[in-house]
Structure 1
């Protein structure tokens, strides 16, 4: 059995390694022949993409959405640059590697929106002065930035075209912005309706997707395009989205490039899959921490009150508690939710031990406690955390979104760790061990998400943005849960995964959520 398991891990490791190499080769090849320059415009990190030796061409300023960064917009930047355009991406205030906090009221146009439009204006002024530009200009924005670039285009007559991805913008009128293309994921039902409404304003009636209305010559051209089989984030990696944007700008500017379209989405998925699967054979290198394996080992009849009570009580207890003590949007609430949930779970574990032995079976003979190797525990937890943050996080930072903290974010990692640590330690202990209920680990993660949903329902105005990141939390639960499972099988102690996952989650929240001026 051991030899069979070793052979399986060897084969899995080789397959994962091949997947990683192939994915990196393909992803790095997307920027072949491009000159990529990184600079600053005030506090704003800016990246300029252009084809080496290309003649002067229109400049396209590209803006990311809420809680994103300029890495998210690479498919558009690379597609346009490979077709001769000068593409400029940047990190908004409070996002990515921009260490300046975002000010203003995020719920009011006269608040945060004004700051963001002003930032687009500064970046655009820089872009207009680039030596590779020919004086013509377009803007492209995703989600939150779709409204921002629409508003900027309305204020600058130099903007010849606007490409709005997953757009929601009440600022669109029948006349402005000029030459508007709206691209929406096929799964974004409400935004599809918004796209048709915005296009319909210009023609005064119902419109169909995939049809261009108006005239490019007078700036009245409009089109709604639905990228198939994608949602709010995957729309950025759909080749259909990049193809629509390229064709639109080529028509506006009377150009014809190579026709190259960046289709990196599948290779990003292959890279992430390879890194996740590689963690399983690598886990065999971790030191043994405990014999026998530790954990509460609670069967379902004992576990369910320990798991359910915190899910119900946490949002109720935090309902009226002030949570504006960290400069990270909803990060302070998440820290408190994790922390209180963890403490309540730990309290439940204390009570559960009074009901039954750790193994969960009153008739089970007592087992020797064994010895926990503290040094091995620290080494194993550090190794798993390093892999989660450096290897997986490095891939995310390079090809998906910013995962490297700027200096102002480093204290936030520690502040959030104070919240995530109690929950991950208590949850790992509650769901591991001999006799633990089948499916307990997955069930407690589902209960946590349900608990967050209750919190949002109780305070929708303040916690609305949690809705946007629930899919990300779910993905992290799956990936880091696998890391934890494989680490536990090898080390025999639930705190290896608990410590590593607590740090990885705190890191992810601290580096990706927008920083605000409180």
Structure 2
């Protein structure tokens, strides 16, 4: 004899089915719309991969374009060629030959960054030499008329300013989110500074550099004559910060127009502001995770709620203890900037949390291996594949595989503890925010205790926040379906290790 499903339960099941179908259709539509727009931005441009010695380059050339100046495009810290594609496509559509590349230690460059990162004659000088080699290779390409400009973001802004001062071939410099002490009143020649509206300190620095040339100039003013003896300009891209400035229509148009003035050209073609399309694609992938997770085997009983006192113990004790303990531990064992410390921090924090959870009587539940592997595959292959093509390098070269494996030793225990404390995605939002804020505070404490060694962690913290938001939503869908925090934790731990392993610059001191 079978029991009849109550009417309210049938209605709830039906509404859930409709919601899942709607999520699947909307997610698919977002993915299609995003891919269509991103591929449309590439239409009419031939994209070729080349090498300048060991440095990987990508050349963007408009089909049928006449001989034109070449623009060498450099990414920022922990970036890659893909980060700069909006500028490369915009300039290629305008008829320029655009050449982007991966700095040593970044993206798919197999050579580790080296030198002293705190000294101009250390790492900075080595990266300047690399830009010089890429410039030589770019000028030798067919279709280049012998003229060259540099464009760079964040860390690269200082590198390109210094290189433009050292290399008389450089006719113009476009510095995005610039921080550099190297510029003078008249050099580098034809300097355009683009800063996001929300980059307050960098806007002040841009204005300072503009006023070296004219003490009363303001944002938006052009000092001198870029078509003649040389000019300088500082502009603000509205409504953007340090990363989204790379997709600002204002910034893209200003860069193109500035180079046109310097080189006496009149360009046409679309501005490839691809940020919105990227957001559509990634949002679609995140949304699709919910209906796809429903294909996994289901367990009815969710993990029990953890008492507040226990939750406070398993978060606050590791948050305080981990940075204090590691202050006295040597953690330099990977050829990557601060990733070795982060791996150890994750391991200690996760191990302490798991121990305290067990001592507090929290049951970990069963492990659904299929769900764990499906989550890892979705995050790495599907979401990561989209990132790799349109946003940033996500598929590792061979040298990064052992780095990912080493980070996983710390990332998996940490994400296991996080998922168990979050009840496999069933915890209230404020609990999730508390759990993850405690970990971020722990990283902040580590930086405060050893700022000289760990200040690069400050750059990575926003990446971890983004990971929590994006992959937390994907992992939560799996955790709520399977009621297996262990599956969610292992899957997210592998994704986190992969994400950090491909993002941190490879580095060898000396």
Q: Equivalent residue of 2:506, what SS?
A: coil
Tell me, yes or no, if the aligned pair for 1:403 and 1:512 is still in contact at 8 Å. Answer: yes
CA RMSD of aligned residues (A): 1.7
Aligned residue for 1:198?
Answer: 209
Tell me, yes or no, if the aligned pair for 1:287 and 1:491 is still in contact at 8 Å. Answer: yes
Distance 2:418 2:128 in 1: 44
How many residues were matched structurally? 498
- Aligned pairs for 1:74-153 within 5 A: 74-153=85-164
Aligned residue for 1:284?
Answer: 294
Distance 2:338 2:306 in 1: 33
Distance 2:300 2:326 in 1: 39
Q: Is 1:340 aligned to residue 348 of structure 2?
A: yes
Tell me, yes or no, if the aligned pair for 1:297 and 1:433 is still in contact at 8 Å. Answer: no
Distance 2:432 2:329 in 1: 29
Q: Is 1:248 aligned to residue 258 of structure 2?
A: yes
Distance 1:141 1:115 in 2: 16
Residue 500 of structure 1, aligned match among 491, 497, 500: 491
- Aligned pairs for 1:314-325 within 5 A: 314-325=322-333
Alpha-carbon offset, residue 430 of structure 1 = 2.5
Quick check: 344-353 or 129-138, which moved more?
Answer: 344-353
Aligned residue for 2:6?
Answer: none
Residue 158 of structure 1, aligned match among 169, 172, 175: 169
Residue 387 of structure 1, aligned match among 378, 403, 406: 378
Distance 2:351 2:69 in 1: 57
Alpha-carbon offset, residue 259 of structure 1 = 4.3
Residue 64 of structure 1, aligned match among 75, 79, 87: 75
Q: Equivalent residue of 2:230, what SS?
A: coil
Quick check: 152-161 or 90-99, which moved more?
Answer: 152-161
Alpha-carbon offset, residue 433 of structure 1 = 6.9
Alpha-carbon offset, residue 152 of structure 1 = 1.0
Aligned residue for 2:84?
Answer: 73
Residue 11 of structure 1, aligned match among 22, 29, 49: 22
Distance 1:386 1:280 in 2: 15
Aligned residue for 1:270?
Answer: 280
Aligned residue for 2:446?
Answer: 455
Do the aligned partners of residues 491 and 433 (structure 1) sit closer, same or farther apart at CA in structure 2, a change above 3 Å counting?
closer
Alpha-carbon offset, residue 424 of structure 1 = 1.1
The two structures have a TM-score, normalised by structure 2, of 0.95
Distance 1:358 1:143 in 2: 46
Q: Equivalent residue of 2:369, what SS?
A: helix
In the alignment, structure 2 segments of 5+ residues that lack a partner are: 1-11
The two structures have a TM-score, normalised by structure 1, of 0.93
Tell me, yes or no, if the aligned pair for 2:173 and 2:191 is still in contact at 8 Å. Answer: yes
Aligned residue for 1:23?
Answer: 34
Q: Equivalent residue of 1:37, what SS?
A: strand
Alpha-carbon offset, residue 323 of structure 1 = 1.8
Aligned residue for 2:461?
Answer: 470
Distance 2:427 2:354 in 1: 16
Aligned residue for 1:173?
Answer: 184
Aligned residue for 2:360?
Answer: 352
Distance 2:447 2:304 in 1: 31
Q: Equivalent residue of 1:130, what SS?
A: coil
The list of structure 1 runs, each at least 4 consecutive aligned residues, that deviate by more than 4 angstroms after superposition, is 433-438
Distance 2:176 2:429 in 1: 43
